């Protein structure tokens, strides 16, 4: 049976555990630095199994030793945004936390696949790569599935159609410079560009780019977690079932999309070995321009990290 560890038992971590438990993908360990928090939430989630109908074993812990031999480790530890903060404002605190978390992953779960969720996503995923010393295909970040989910939800609302029929694609950095791709977004196979005028699409693209901030502004403390955990569960399932799903993920680029040595969102094939392939799409010159800008910003931050 597979073993999944979720680091961080906060909003994203605990909701992720709930979704994974319901999918019965394997036994789950949830860790946090706060004593009692992961243990209490694990007990609560175990008891929910008797009502919802799942048999997943869930254990809470404050000890890295308990993640030993995990097949998949999901990082959600760190601080979240408050109103007025960008994802970049989280860098110094979250880099320190993820350095420590990653060293322990390398120590106790050296064969695991690592999925990072902590923001700023592309920077922290890079930190996890360096601090674990793992092969790049084994370390990736969750961002595009969430951003594409937001885009798809806005499209379905606008068209008054089922969300189930919308397949959206969003690439680039997980921030103001993400690049929703209307030309690779379809509704039951019909290109979005056939269904909505350009101005309408632009409005939905803008709302997608600011989708996380819109929620932070409403919550006033903390950031989104229902859609993020849904995105994590979809990606975890692809890895644990080796289903080779084509999904956007923050992946380490080695020449793809003109970039080398950084992480940002691209379509990948996701399976038991992690990122098994990166798919290169043709983009418009304007989309490439945003990607270059996004890459430049990420590169600048990385060079200041000293990792």
Active site residue 174: yes
* Identified catalytic residue from 174, 201, 232, 268: 174
Counting contacts by CB under 6 A, is residue 89 touching ligand APR?
no
Residue with tokens 């644990």: 240
Using the minimum distance from each CB to ligand APR, give the nearer residue, 46 or 75.
Answer: 75
Nearer to ligand APR by Cβ, of 141 and 271: the residue is: 141
- Give the 3-state secondary structure of 231-260: HHHHHHHHHHCCCCEEEEEEEEEECHHHCE
Does 225 interact with ligand APR (rule: CB under 6 A)?
yes
| Contact between 222 and ligand APR per CB under 6 A | yes
**Per CB under 6 A, which region of 20-28, 92-100, 165-173, 238-246 contacts ligand APR?**
92-100
Cα–Cα distances in angstroms (integers) from residue 276 to residues 145, 239, 248, 251, in the given order:
17, 10, 12, 10
Alpha carbon separation from 139 to 25, 54, 106, 256 (Å, rounded): 20, 29, 12, 17
Pick from 73, 74, 114, 117 the residue near ligand APR by CB under 6 A: 117
Stretch that binds ligand APR, among 42-50, 105-113, 117-125, 261-269 (CB under 6 A): 117-125
| Residue 303 per-residue DSSP state | H
- Torsion sign (Cα): 201, 203, 204, 209: positive
**Is residue 8 within the footprint of ligand APR (CB under 6 A)?**
yes
Q: Per rule CB under 6 A, is residue 109 in the interface with ligand APR?
A: no
What's the CA gap between 138 and 151, in Å, rounded? 27
120 Cβ neighbours under 8 A, 6+ residues apart: 87, 88, 90, 91, 94, 174, 175, 301
| Number of chain positions touching ligand APR (CB under 6 A) | 29
18 interacts with ligand APR by CB under 6 A: no
Residue 77 near ligand APR by CB under 6 A:
yes
What does residue 277 show for φ and ψ, rounded to 5 degrees?
-165, 145
Question: What are the catalytic residues?
Answer: 174
What residues line the site for ligand APR (CB under 6 A)? 7-13, 31-34, 37, 76-78, 80-81, 90, 94, 97, 100-101, 117-119, 222-223, 225, 228
């Amino acid at each position: 049976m597979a073993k999944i560890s979720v680091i961080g038992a906060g909003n994203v971590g605990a909701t992720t555990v709930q979704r994974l438990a319901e999918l019965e993908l394997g036994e789950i360990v949830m860790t946090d630095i706060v004593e009692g928090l992961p243990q209490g939430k694990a007990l609560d989630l175990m008891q929910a199994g008797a009502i919802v109908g799942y048999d997943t074993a869930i254990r809470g812990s404050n000890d890295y030793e308990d993640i030993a031999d995990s097949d998949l480790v999901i990082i959600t530890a760190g601080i979240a945004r408050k109103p007025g903060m960008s994802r970049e404002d989280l860098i110094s605190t979250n880099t320190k936390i993820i350095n420590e978390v990653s060293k322990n992953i390398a120590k106790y779960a050296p064969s695991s696949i690592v999925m990072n969720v902590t923001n700023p996503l592309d920077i922290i995923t890079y930190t996890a790569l360096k601090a674990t010393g793992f092969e790049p295909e084994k370390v990736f970040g969750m961002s595009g599935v969430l951003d594409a989910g937001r885009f798809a939800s806005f499209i379905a609302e606008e068209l008054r159609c089922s969300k189930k029929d919308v397949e959206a694609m969003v690439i680039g950095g997980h921030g103001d410079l993400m690049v929703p791709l209307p030309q690779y977004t379809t509704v039951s196979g019909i290109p979005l560009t056939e269904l909505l005028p350009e101005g309408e699409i632009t409005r939905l693209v803008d709302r997608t780019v600011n989708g996380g901030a819109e929620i932070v502004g409403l919550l006033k403390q903390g950031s989104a977690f229902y859609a993020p955990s849904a995105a994590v569960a979809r990606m975890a399932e692809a890895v644990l079932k080796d289903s080779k799903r084509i999904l956007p993920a923050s992946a380490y680029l080695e020449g793809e999309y003109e970039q080398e040595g950084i992480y940002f969102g691209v379509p990948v094939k996701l399976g038991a070995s992690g990122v098994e392939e990166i798919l290169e799409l043709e983009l418009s010159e304007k989309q490439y321009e945003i990607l270059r800008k996004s890459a430049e910003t990420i590169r600048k931050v990385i060079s200041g990290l000293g990792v």
